Amino acid sequence: MRQYPQLEFDLALLRSNADAVISRCRGMGIRVCGVIKGVDGLPEAARVLRAAGAAELGTSRLEQVAKCRAAGVPGPWLLIRIPGLTELPDVVALCETSLQSEWPTLLALEEECLRQNKTHRVIVMTDLGDLREGFWDKDELVDVCERVERELPHVQLAGIGVNLTCYGSTKPTPEKMNELVGLARQVEQRIGRKLEIVSGGATSSFTLVHWGTMPAGVNHLRIGEAILLGKDLQVDWGIRDMDYLRMDALTLRAEVVEVKDKPTYPIGEFAIDAFGRKPVYEDRGIRRRAILALGRADVGELESLIPREPGLTVIGGSSDHCIVDVEDCPRRLQVGDIVEFSLCYSHMLYATARSDMRIIFKNQSAQEE
């Protein structure tokens, strides 16, 4: 097996992020579903989130639930991607709870529960403007919740939820959250009991916990990125006083396989690159550059990798090559040297999911309570 590229996961830093997020949520009466889809459901990460007090674990992929259960990670499990009809046998077998937005699916879920002689909990999703999953028609949502309550004995209505800032870039605001809470109250009136869960969204909704503006009534968030990476809100949203979240729990290491002085402008007639694109090249004369044994097959987009090596910039690459400009590096890089990067969410998603990626764990004891 190849040694590089290599991913190091510092579980103590992951634990620190999980503690920070979960304790702040707990202070506002909010339970956290720890979402592990960003790291391919790594059981080590899942264990850390549970040890830190995540009330349940969530992912969009049933294979990850199966993997974690086989590894003995304690649930309960929430499926956070609305399931297809073909997935329902595994949903009922593997997960305690799932997100739902279609009556036909809920009906089929009842049948599957009967078949397996089990009950299953659902969170019915509303769409408050992000335009991904969820009922757009709010009356329809209330009607469907009532029908689940009255007509589906094996499907338990645990609550309602919303997702924001995923397809649309709709921002969670106190107004949006109040809309959700209002809708929950409507459902409660109709069914004559309180809902257990009012699920206000993902990492982007954690901003309201951070700022202390989360309306009462929202009691559940499904959080992945803020815990795994901690970067979106601090870097992309520019929130400055969130430095209690560490952004360096994951380190990508790659090996230098070529170092040469070369022109910066390709020579000859131009066609297209390996991925069918027509890149624009800037002629900066002859510069020292290196090739890393790392490619788009490992991490997706290379240009957005975040180098930790001073002076190094990623200038491009292909499936299995990453070309970096090292002219300005104080360290004189040579073949065989190892360089490090921090990751964005998409890099983390792709890199952890590759079967040939070597993943090493630091501070394994962070998995214990």
Ligand X SMILES: *Cc1c(COP(=O)(O)O)cnc(C)c1O
Which active-site residues does the annotation give? 37
CB of 38 to ligand X, least distance (A): 6
- Of residues 83 and 224, the one with the C-beta less far from ligand X: 224
Residue type, 297: A
CB of 92 to ligand X, least distance (A): 19
CB of 85 to ligand X, least distance (A): 19
Stretch near ligand X under the rule CB under 6 A, chosen from 33-41, 150-158, 209-217, 301-309: 33-41
Length of the chain: 369
Q: How far apart (Å, rounded) are the C-alpha atoms in residues 349 and 1?
A: 21
Per-residue x/- track, 57-76, ligand X (CB under 6 A): ---x----------------
Whole-angstrom distance between the N-terminal and C-terminal Cα of the chain? Answer: 33
Q: Which two tokens stand for residue 291?
A: 């090739």
- Of residues 322 and 351, the one with the C-beta less far from ligand X: 351
- Of residues 199 and 367, the one with the C-beta less far from ligand X: 199
Report how far Cα 181 is from the mean position of its chain's Cα atoms: 25
Q: How far apart (Å, rounded) are the C-alpha atoms in residues 315 and 325?
A: 6
Site membership for ligand X, residue 39 (CB under 6 A): no
Number of residues that bind ligand X (CB under 6 A): 13
- Of residues 69 and 81, the one with the C-beta less far from ligand X: 81
- Of residues 228 and 259, the one with the C-beta less far from ligand X: 228
Alpha helix stretches (DSSP H) within the chain: 11-27, 43-51, 62-70, 88-94, 103-116, 138-151, 174-191, 203-211, 225-228, 296-299, 345-353
Which are the contacts of 236, defined by CB distance < 8 A and separation ≥ 6?
Answer: none
Q: Environment class of residue 143 by beta-carbon count within 10 Å: exposed (0-12), middle (13-18) or buried (19+)?
A: middle
Pairing of strands 155-162, 120-126: parallel
- Considering only residues 177 to 236 of the shown chain, the ones binding ligand X according to CB under 6 A are 202-203, 222-225
Pairing of strands 97-100, 77-79: parallel
Site membership for ligand X, residue 35 (CB under 6 A): yes
Stretch near ligand X under the rule CB under 6 A, chosen from 3-11, 32-40, 152-160, 272-280: 32-40
- Of residues 210 and 253, the one with the C-beta less far from ligand X: 210
Per-residue x/- track, 76-115, ligand X (CB under 6 A): ----x------------------x----------------
DSSP state of 172: P
Backbone angles phi, psi at 15, to 5 degrees: -60, -40
- Considering only residues 116 to 175 of the shown chain, the ones binding ligand X according to CB under 6 A are 163
Per-residue x/- track, 268-307, ligand X (CB under 6 A): ----------------------------------------
CB of 180 to ligand X, least distance (A): 14
CB of 265 to ligand X, least distance (A): 40
CB of 36 to ligand X, least distance (A): 9
- Taking CA 99 as the corner, what is the angle to CA 72 and CA 66, rounded to the nearest 5 degrees? 20
Stretch near ligand X under the rule CB under 6 A, chosen from 34-42, 114-122, 169-177, 328-336: 34-42
Q: Give the Cβ contact number of residue 110 at 10 Å.
A: 19
* DSSP structure string for 207-226: HHHHHT-PPTT--EEEESHH
- Of residues 126 and 163, the one with the C-beta less far from ligand X: 163
The footprint of ligand X (CB under 6 A) covers: 35, 37-38, 60, 80, 99, 163, 202-203, 222-225
